[in-house]
């Protein structure tokens, strides 16, 4: 096993892949968006319940690789209860993290998100990690019902 | 297991093999070029594209070093040399697939372009409202979408013959779907996603008996099987150069002369005309009618070198070797816990699609890649087929003449690492 692979498949990712959090539909969803990666067939539906400026609840269903599933799971656990402004900020932080751009947050501040720091070494997998975030972003911004990585 | 030098140790098991795999491997420079920080390349993505032997690479270099010019245009020396090389390549292709005449060999960019040519030229002229086009459930998107576009435009109907759980065509259903309305039947010689080899001789016979014209998508046929289009009696046969050790951007559309002759041109431009005035243009003879513009001369010349290379080794010897790898790798894969092979037809080309319980194919691909093992993961441009088997994607290992049993072993070791990580 190479060091890079260990960095990619960190325990947090393997754990969230095996036991995804919030892996269900939301009964009271105010918005539901499909995210699709035509290249590898990853497909998720993200449900959000937005109350004013707060993401009250997030759920997701679908199918894809460990990176995308763990990303959706960690995202849902991280953003549940946060404000839209916070979500936008973390979207930006996450994007920088997986594309290897220098970010403003330390590993400690990143918390669970830090588990995705290995992704930037795998250009082919960046889209896997960012698909759920793009999908959620679209749910928040409310412009589309389907998001595609291509 | 893997070494930095780019060659894998060879066991005694291959000594009785028909091919001198070591010598063949020596012909392919890329197989000796390390990947991922010094690992030997184990290239098992041959159904996507094959690697190129030195003979092909050298031929292209020689073309540009000594022969480059435009074809069919100049009176000067180089134009003659280039035209001669280009047309000799046509003869090489003609012989390779057993066509009657050079006029029946149209050079294209690949299988996709060949199929689109037939759909747009033959199809637009001969398919009308209420007519039907029959394909099968294992088709590559490039043998689905051109027909959908045609059907949409003409108000015709696309019918799909089903496969059974092994991925074999249900021949009775295929026969039942042939009706007097069926104008054209199009199917793959072999499936890139499952490996299934179709009983094309029977299918051609049935389609002809129903009065339909037959197109074969030979992208996965030509690299593995002996082709004789006259003996098969198919009306069209399309394939890609890059899947048979030739350059990308090359392909061949074979068509029976009488059928090609009656077809309108597809694209307009230079080379495809006899005379042009603003009132009327007279089209050139076959096959030039279908080759508008400056062709991929370098590629076509390289394709001929690739077919010569395959002929020198012998397609039957290649097939025997690949079948040995197919059976060996299948047996070893089935011994790995959690592996399920998708596509278990009795007749298969050297393609194995599989899924591993609890691990997405994309993750398998990334982990194997770290070991220098190249496989394909995804839907293999056959989404309807993936749906048929109820999998979003598969991992696919596909073998060529230069692959070895040791490389199949490396795949198994790699999968064991995948299992360790995901257990
Ligand atoms: C069965 C089959 N048909 C058609 C194609 C399309 O070939 P190309 O992309 O070279 O045009 C492929 C290539 O993936 C194939 O495997």
Mutate to test the interface with A, among B2, B37, B363 (most CBs of A within 10 A): B363
Closest by CA to A110, choosing from A72, A70, A78, A68, is A78
Q: Which of B381, B383, B384, B422 is catalytic?
A: B381
B2 pLDDT tier (thresholds 50, 70, 90): very low
Phi then psi dihedrals of residue A10, to 5 deg: -70, 160
Q: Does A125 touch chain B (CB under 8 A)?
A: yes
* CB–CB contact A122 B366 (8 Å): yes
> Which stretches within B43-192 are classed as H helix?
54-62, 77-97, 111-117, 124-126, 145-154, 171-177
Taking each helix axis from N to C end, the angle separating B77-97 and B297-313, rounded to the nearest 10 degrees, works out to: 40
Query: Per-residue pLDDT averaged across B188-205, rounded?
Result: 98
Predicted confidence (pLDDT) per residue in A59-104, tens digit: 999 999 999 999 999 999 999 999 999 999 999 999 999 999 988 7
pLDDT in tens, B325-342: 999 999 999 999 999 999
Residues spanned by the domain of A124? 3-148
Residues in B touching A35 (Cβ below 8 Å): none
**Per-residue pLDDT tens for B221-266?**
999 999 999 999 999 999 999 999 999 999 999 999 999 999 999 9
To the query of whether residue B151 is one of the catalytic residues in this protein, the response is: no
Q: Does A40 touch chain B (CB under 8 A)?
A: yes
DSSP B285: P
CA–CA separation, B363 vs A17, rounded Å? 11
> What Rg do the C-alpha atoms of chain B give, in angstroms?
22
Smallest Cβ–Cβ distance between A40 and the set B367, B377, B421 belongs to B377
Pairwise CA distance, residues B142 & A1, whole Å: 38
Residue A143 banded pLDDT, cuts 50, 70, 90: low
- State the pLDDT at residue B288: 94
State how beta strands B373-374 and B351-356 pair.
Answer: unpaired
Query: Is pLDDT at B7 greater than 50 in this prediction?
Result: no
- Mean predicted lDDT score pLDDT of chain B: 94
> pLDDT tier at B9 (50, 70, 90 boundaries)?
very low
Q: How many other C-beta atoms are found inside a 10 Å radius of the C-beta of residue B30? A: 14
Q: Compute the half-sphere exposure of residue B152: CA atoms within 13 Å on the CB side of its CA.
A: 6
- The pairs formed by B314-317 with CB atoms below 8 angstroms and a separation of 24 or more are B314/B18, B315/B224, B315/B225, B315/B226, B316/B226, B317/B18, B317/B19
pLDDT band for position A41 (50/70/90)? confident
> How confident is the model over B52-65, as a mean pLDDT?
98
pLDDT in tens, B114-136: 999 999 999 999 999 999 999 99
The minimum-distance atom of ligand 1 relative to the CA of B190 is 1
Check which CATH number belongs to the domain holding A130 and give it: 3.90.1010.10
For residue B26, is pLDDT > 90?
yes
A44-72 core/surface letters (b: 16 or more CB in 10 A; e: else): bbbbbbbeeeebebbbbbbebbbbbbbbb
For range B267-282, the mean pLDDT: 84
Pocket test for ligand 1, best of B240, B245, B252 (most atoms within 8 A of CB): B240
Which pLDDT score is estimated for B14?
Answer: 45
CB contact under 8 A, A66 and B360: yes
How many Cα atoms sit within 13 Å of A5 on the Cβ side? 19
What number is the average pLDDT over the span A6-14? 93
Chain B residues in contact with A8 (beta carbon < 8 A): 366
- What is the tens place of the pLDDT at every residue in A111-142? 889 999 999 999 989 999 999 999 999 988 87
Atom of ligand 1 nearest to the CA of B191: 1
What angle is formed at CA B331 by the lines to CA B330 and CA B332, rounded to 5 degrees? 95
In this prediction, residue B369 carries a pLDDT of 96
Q: In what order do the strands lie in the sheet with A42-51?
A: A54-63, A42-51, A31-37, A146-148
Which domains are delineated in chain B? 15-53+314-421 (3.90.1150.10), 57-311 (3.40.640.10)
Cα B369 to Cα A124: distance, rounded to the nearest angstrom: 11
Residues of chain B with pLDDT > 90: what percent?
87
Q: Smallest CA–CA separation between B371 and chain A, in Å? A: 8
Number of domains in chain A: 1
């Amino acid at each position: 096993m190479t060091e890079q692979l260990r960095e990619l498949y960190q325990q947090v990712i393997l754990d969230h892949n095996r036991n995804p959090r919030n892996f269900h539909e939301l009964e009271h969803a105010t918005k539901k968006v499909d995210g699709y990666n035509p290249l590898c067939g990853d497909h998720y539906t993200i449900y959000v319940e937005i109350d004013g400026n707060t993401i009250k609840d997030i759920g997701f269903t679908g199918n894809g690789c460990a990176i995308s599933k763990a990303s959706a799971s960690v995202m849902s656990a991280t953003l549940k209860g946060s404000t839209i402004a916070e979500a936008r900020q973390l979207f930006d932080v996450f994007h920088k993290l997986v594309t290897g751009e220098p970010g403003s947050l330390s590993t400690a501040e990143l918390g669970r998100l830090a588990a995705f720091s290995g992704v930037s070494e795998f250009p082919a997998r960046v889209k896997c990690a960012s698909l759920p975030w793009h999908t959620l972003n679209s749910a928040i911004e409310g412009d589309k019902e389907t998001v595609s990585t291509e | 297991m893997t070494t930095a030098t780019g060659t894998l140790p060879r066991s005694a098991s291959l000594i009785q093999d028909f091919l001198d795999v070591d010598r063949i491997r020596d012909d392919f420079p890329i197989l000796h070029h390390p990947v991922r920080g010094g690992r030997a390349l184990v290239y098992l993505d041959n159904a996507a594209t094959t690697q190129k032997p030195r003979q092909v690479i050298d031929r292209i270099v020689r073309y540009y070093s000594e022969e480059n010019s435009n074809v069919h245009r100049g009176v000067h020396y180089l134009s003659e040399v280039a035209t001669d090389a280009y047309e000799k390549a046509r003869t090489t292709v003609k012989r390779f697939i057993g066509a009657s005449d050079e006029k029946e060999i149209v050079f294209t960019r690949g299988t996709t372009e060949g199929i689109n040519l037939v759909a747009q030229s033959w199809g637009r002229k001969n398919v009308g409202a209420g007519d039907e086009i029959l394909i099968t459930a294992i088709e590559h998107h490039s043998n689905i979408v051109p027909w959908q576009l045609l059907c949409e435009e003409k108000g015709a109907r696309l019918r799909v013959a089903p496969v059974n759980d092994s991925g074999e065509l249900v021949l009775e259903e295929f026969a039942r779907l042939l009706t007097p309305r069926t104008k054209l039947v199009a199917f793959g010689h072999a499936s890139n996603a499952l490996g299934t080899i179709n009983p094309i001789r029977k299918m051609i016979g049935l389609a002809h008996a129903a009065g339909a014209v037959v197109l074969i998508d030979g992208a996965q046929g030509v690299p593995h099987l002996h082709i004789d289009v006259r003996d098969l009696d198919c009306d069209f046969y399309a394939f890609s150069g890059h899947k048979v050790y030739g350059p990308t951007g090359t392909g061949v559309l074979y068509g029976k002369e009488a059928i090609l002759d009656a077809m309108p041109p597809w694209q307009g431009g230079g080379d495809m005309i006899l005379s042009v005035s603003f009132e009327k243009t007279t089209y050139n003879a076959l096959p030039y009618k279908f080759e508008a513009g400056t062709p991929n001369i370098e590629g076509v010349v390289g394709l001929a070198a690739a077919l010569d290379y395959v002929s020198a080794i012998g397609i039957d010897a290649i097939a025997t070797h690949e079948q040995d790898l197919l059976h060996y790798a299948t047996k070893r894969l089935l011994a790995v816990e959690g592996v399920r092979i998708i596509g278990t037809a009795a007749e298969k080309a050297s393609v194995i699609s599989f899924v591993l319980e609890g691990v997405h194919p994309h993750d398998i691909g990334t982990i194997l890649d770290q070991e220098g093992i190249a496989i394909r993961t995804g839907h293999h441009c056959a989404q309807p087929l993936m749906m048929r088997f109820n999998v979003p994607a598969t991992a696919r290992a596909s073998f060529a003449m230069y692959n070895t049993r040791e490389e199949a072993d490396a795949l198994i070791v790699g999968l064991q690492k995948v299992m360790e990580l995901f257990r």
